[in-house]
Structure 1
Amino acid sequence: MAIHQLGIIMNGVTGRMGTNQHLIRSIVAIRNQGGVKLPNGDVIMPDPILVGRQESKLKALAEAYGITRFSTDLDACLADPHDSIYFDSQMTSFRAESIRKAILAGKHIYCEKPTGTSLAESLDLARLAKEAGVKNGVVQDKLFLPGLMKLKRLVDSGFFGDILTVRIEFGYWVFEGDWQPGQRPSWNYRKEDGGGIIVDMFAHWRYVIDNLFGKVRSVSCLGYTHIPHRVDENGNKYTCTADDAAYATFEVEGGIIVQANSSWAVRVNREDLLTVQVDGTEGSAVAGLRDCKTQHRVNTCKPVWNPDIPNPFNFREQWMEVPDNQLFDNGFKVQWELFLKHIVLDTPFPWDLLEGAKGTQLSDLGLLSWSERRWVDVPDLNV
């Protein structure tokens, strides 16, 4: 048995997502399970070095999770041949510059999205990586949620017949920070720092729609800043300059209509923070983060509109749960394992920097649609 040790520069893992999903539940979990086992019995063992601006935070994380290496000097890390992979989960406004450095240093790239603050910036990274011949990938975590994996199973089986519409509801109430701390960092609400729910969530909706239902062909979007002022991590009141809600409609190839509401100013009255309802000629399904339920054509009730009597139906009881039929691991960890296998075995990994650029493209076009109050076509992208 051979052990393939892969040095990974992990930049930006002191933030919430970087710490919890990428460090603890992915890389540390992979190390604790004995690495990624390959078909021939070999093992891939990640060897991370934590990189950031605050040495005290890096040291505390390293000590807490048994990691021996950390640094505040990104350039020195990029110069070390032991580390062949560069991972980035920094604030969006810092990401492209660091990735560009890593590509020029010959590192393979794995990063969070959005990959850049504009389509031009994201496409430039994709072109640069292609020219340099480095492998690259972008986190597309929602594809690996158990609920959406079950939904994909239904799509692939032909359960829906002809898919007609998709309705996506996402969001929750993010506290303003005055009498309860907010659940999201304050930069999310400042446009000048790369914030805004359109920039944040349209990157997700692009890969979810493209991979489950078909290519997005046009978008109509209305953004809004519902909460004008919030209180930051230091107790200072600030003006919100970025959108905290977006109401969008997407036209998808094949005539499918997707409606997506995204909001950090909505109180949840549904079964999950994210729900995706698909309606087709033969059946419908509603997926959350982990669960998915269906209603087939033959099991569909026949309600009649009559506001003069109490509702005789319990609609939610008329749906059936899709069984797990498999063990579901953390979605971030699953994609990390696929990327590590891509590096060592050259197995397929379709979610590259060009796919990341498509997410930035949809964000840009959503903002354009909102600004000009019109439908906007989504052209094909190539590098």
Structure 2
Amino acid sequence: MTTHSAAERKTVRIAMNGVTGRMGYRQHLVRSILAIREQGGVPLGDGTVIWPEPVLVGRRPHALRELATRHGLDPEAVSTDLDAVLADPTIDVYFDAQVTLAREEAIGKAIAAGKHIYTEKPTATGLDGALALARQARDAGIKHGVVQDKLFLPGLLKLKRLVEGGFFGEILSVRGEFGYWVFEGDWQEAQRPSWNYRAQDGGGIVVDMFPHWEYVLHELFGRVETVQALATTHIPRRWDEAGEAYDATADDSAYGIFQLAGGTVAQINSSWSVRVNREELVEFQVDGTEGSAVAGLRGCRAQHRSATPKPVWNPDIPATERFREQWQEVPDNGEFDNGFKAQWELFLRHLVADEPYSWDLLAGARGVQLAELGLRSSAEGRRLDVPELHL
């Protein structure tokens, strides 16, 4: 890390691998790192700021240079040679947003080169590999973080406020609905890359989404102790980016039941073959003895015990109650930044100022573990324990 004049700016050079992909470009480069630069850096509170300096890494040099030029970055600060970038002593952090199959090897190389690590998830294709990376990072003495963006969504931040304020009383259950219809690619272009639907390329909704559910449940409600899942491929044939048909070998839908420490039961449905009939693309309903809430990406509605209506089941007459209107909006009570950017800022403060940070490679390994056990549960048709992980 380089300190500039009068100790006013601390520059952190970040090798960003995978920024030509949808997530790496939109959320991490544009809405996080470039947005941080546009606001003048990350203030440390003592008159100095952290200044991220991205170095774009990937396989297509022309695409990398075009991105750099488009956003006012040095067009020479790009590379298709990851080994050369990792050998550069001026690089402080390695960030990975590649496809999952390429991530584990690249992170291992970066740790061996002494770079700090910040990465998308899943961190590896299996639990053994994820734990090996966490141990390697621990032994190397480097700092490391894993993206856990949904914790920073406005809706879940409001939900967390309710949890911490004791609004629910005893939390009984959590019900989650996630997903939308991803077009097959024949008559309308698919919204997701085709590799997501090929198991041999690291695709599958369990591998993609169960790591998210692990940290959401763990952070807000308690550690996941058991999992019972059914993963399936509802749409067996899709068309790729070139218009060629292919067999979908990865699961596109998963139905999971998770038992949490303390007894709360969570049920989460995840699907890329479901049409949306809810307020947002993901919603969580939390029911407790004193109240309930429904949280999405941005909004959160609550209903206290004292305001709970008393419906009576009667299928012989039309329903007259407007149930959704009986819930109260939880106010913002503050401004919410982009979740990816907010976590980048926390990691940079952890890196430079040694502020606390808990979402490390071990946390990433817990997500890989839950996905692995979820797939195994589906294959074996039974509920499985989720052992607590230790390095």
**TM-score interval for Structure 1 and Structure 2 normalised by the shorter chain:** over 0.9
Select which of 182, 192, 204 maps to 2:212. 204
Alignment of 1:223-262 (within 5 A): 223-262=231-270
Corresponding residue number in structure 2 for 1:178: 186
Corresponding residue number in structure 2 for 1:132: 140
Q: Does 1:146 align with 2:157?
A: no
State the distance in 2 between where 1:175 and 1:63 align: 33
Select which of 83, 104, 121 maps to 2:112. 104
State the distance in 1 between where 2:140 and 2:82 align: 20
Q: Does 1:43 align with 2:60?
A: no
State the distance in 2 between where 1:121 and 1:173 align: 32
- Match for 1:54: what amino acid? R
Q: Does 1:321 align with 2:329?
A: yes
Q: SS of the residue aligned with 1:83?
A: coil
State the distance in 1 between where 2:55 and 2:73 align: 8
Corresponding residue number in structure 1 for 2:82: 74
Corresponding residue number in structure 2 for 1:52: 58
State the Cα deviation string for residues 136-189 of structure 1 (Å, max 9, x = none): 000000000000000000000000000000000000000000011000000000
- Residue 226 of structure 1 deviates from its aligned partner by 0.3
- Match for 2:68: what amino acid? A
Q: Does 1:91 align with 2:111?
A: no
State the Cα deviation string for residues 37-73 of structure 1 (Å, max 9, x = none): 1110101000000000001111111111111111111
- Residue 312 of structure 1 deviates from its aligned partner by 1.6
State the distance in 1 between where 2:168 and 2:385 align: 27
State the Cα deviation string for residues 226-262 of structure 1 (Å, max 9, x = none): 0000000011100000000000000001110000000
Select which of 336, 343, 350 maps to 2:351. 343
Q: SS of the residue aligned with 1:380?
A: coil
Gaps of 5+ in 1: none
Q: SS of the residue aligned with 1:254?
A: coil
Q: SS of the residue aligned with 1:261?
A: strand
Select which of 150, 159, 163 maps to 1:155. 163
Q: CA RMSD of the aligned region, Å?
A: 0.5
- Residue 376 of structure 1 deviates from its aligned partner by 0.2
- Residue 2 of structure 1 deviates from its aligned partner by 1.7
Corresponding residue number in structure 2 for 1:292: 300
Q: SS of the residue aligned with 2:337?
A: coil
State the Cα deviation string for residues 265-316 of structure 1 (Å, max 9, x = none): 0000011000000000000000000010100001000000011111020000
**Which 10-residue stretch deviates more, 75-84 or 214-223?**
75-84
State the distance in 2 between where 1:349 and 1:63 align: 33
State the distance in 2 between where 1:266 and 1:324 align: 30
- Match for 2:118: what amino acid? Y
State the distance in 2 between where 1:78 and 1:218 align: 39
The number of residues matched between the two structures is 383
State the distance in 1 between where 2:54 and 2:72 align: 10
- Residue 263 of structure 1 deviates from its aligned partner by 0.1
Select which of 252, 271, 274 maps to 1:266. 274
State the distance in 1 between where 2:315 and 2:124 align: 51
Gaps of 5+ in 2: 1-6
- Residue 25 of structure 1 deviates from its aligned partner by 0.1
State the distance in 1 between where 2:295 and 2:176 align: 10
Q: Does 1:358 align with 2:373?
A: no
Corresponding residue number in structure 1 for 2:3: none
- Match for 1:338: what amino acid? L
Corresponding residue number in structure 2 for 1:64: 70
TM-score w.r.t. structure 2 length? 0.97
- Residue 197 of structure 1 deviates from its aligned partner by 0.2
Q: SS of the residue aligned with 2:92?
A: strand
Corresponding residue number in structure 2 for 1:28: 34
Q: SS of the residue aligned with 1:44?
A: strand
Select which of 176, 179, 188 maps to 1:168. 176
- Residue 225 of structure 1 deviates from its aligned partner by 0.1
State the distance in 2 between where 1:242 and 1:222 align: 13
State the Cα deviation string for residues 72-112 of structure 1 (Å, max 9, x = none): 11111111111110000000000000000000000000000
Structure 1 segments (4+ residues) deviating >4 Å:
none
Q: Does 1:19 align with 2:25?
A: yes
Q: Does 1:312 align with 2:338?
A: no
